[in-house]
Amino acid sequence: MPGLLNIYIDGASLGNPGPAGIGLVLRPEGDPIQEIAEAIGRATGHQANYRALLRALHLARDLGHTQVHIHSDNPLMVRQMRGEFRVRDPLLRPLFREAMRLARELDVRFSEVTREANRQAHQLARRAARDQAPADLPRREPPGQPEEGRREAVQRSAGGVVYKKEGSTLKVCLIAKRGGLVWALPKGRVNPGETSEEAAVREILEETGHLAAIGERIDQIDYDFYWKENRTLYHKVVLFYLMPLVQEAAGPRDDEADAVGWFTLGEAWRKLSYLNEKKVLHQAQRILQTARA
């Protein structure tokens, strides 16, 4: 009977949703390593990860392995398969149910690994996604690049540095996206008829489940991006506020974030993926330290 089968899996989507692919690296005990890269059509990143998982479980069963160790750098999927997180996305639920059905037929262990440890599967998935991507896939282009019929628009968002005290320690709230690859401050679009302050409170409640109040304005982030699909150059303006926590877990959160966590200021600084948000956090820290002095 075949021994333990280690499978490293990943899914990739160009556009999220967009052209997608899966990558698998099979490492059977005592046998050569096998690589699989397959295009799966149009999908989101999370759907692609579940499709990679389903492919891995089907392969393990077809090859006669009953002991399987799945390695993935998608923490959301791993924790959902362990029963630690609920599957909130209705488009993922059928994939999740099928994965659970297959997993029950086998002796399966799920492990969360780093992107570096999963690099081989990640590259296979990206290659499969790129191979089917159309030449006119929407992409960001530098501002000022001329194009006939191009429009310009302003897009406004708001968010905040949500903080609480645990004893003498200050902690701030961050959200994870892209399967935990990106950590950011919670924020979102300002709806018509909303003020920036109202949008910040609403977006934080929706993304994190926590209710926070407006303290004071910290900073504003501006940048430009071009979306080829509608030929529009957007000037993005994001207002950030310092926001003390009012009530933790005040309501259900939406599916925008893969995970929500509280971190010390130092931990949050290291986790944040965007330099401009690190600067916002630094300014929030200065305000908080001044208020405590």
Q: What per-residue confidence (pLDDT) applies to 200?
A: 93
Q: Which CATH number fits domain 151-292: 3.40.50.2000, 3.90.79.10, 3.30.365.10, 3.30.70.920?
A: 3.90.79.10
**Separation CA 115–CA 122 (nearest Å):** 8
**Separation CA 164–CA 243 (nearest Å):** 9
Where residue 148 falls among pLDDT bands split at 50, 70, 90? low
β-strands 67-72, 107-112 pairing = parallel
Where residue 86 falls among pLDDT bands split at 50, 70, 90? confident
**Separation CA 202–CA 194 (nearest Å):** 10
The full set of domain ranges for the chain reads 5-131, 151-292
Collapsed DSSP state (helix, strand, coil) of residue 207: helix
Where residue 134 falls among pLDDT bands split at 50, 70, 90? low
Residue bearing tokens 């077809």:
62
Q: What are the angstrom distances between the C-alpha of 59 and each of 49, 66, 214? A: 15, 11, 52
**Separation CA 293–CA 85 (nearest Å):** 40
Where residue 138 falls among pLDDT bands split at 50, 70, 90? very low
Residue 142 has pLDDT above 50, yes or no: no
209 DSSP assignment: S
Kind plus residue range of the DSSP H or E element containing 107: strand 107-112
Beta bridge partners of residue 72, listed in sequence order: 9, 112
pLDDT tens digits, one per residue of 216-256: 999 888 777 667 677 777 778 899 999 999 999 998 888 88
Tell which CATH architecture fits domain 5-131: 2-Layer Sandwich (3.30)
Where residue 90 falls among pLDDT bands split at 50, 70, 90? confident
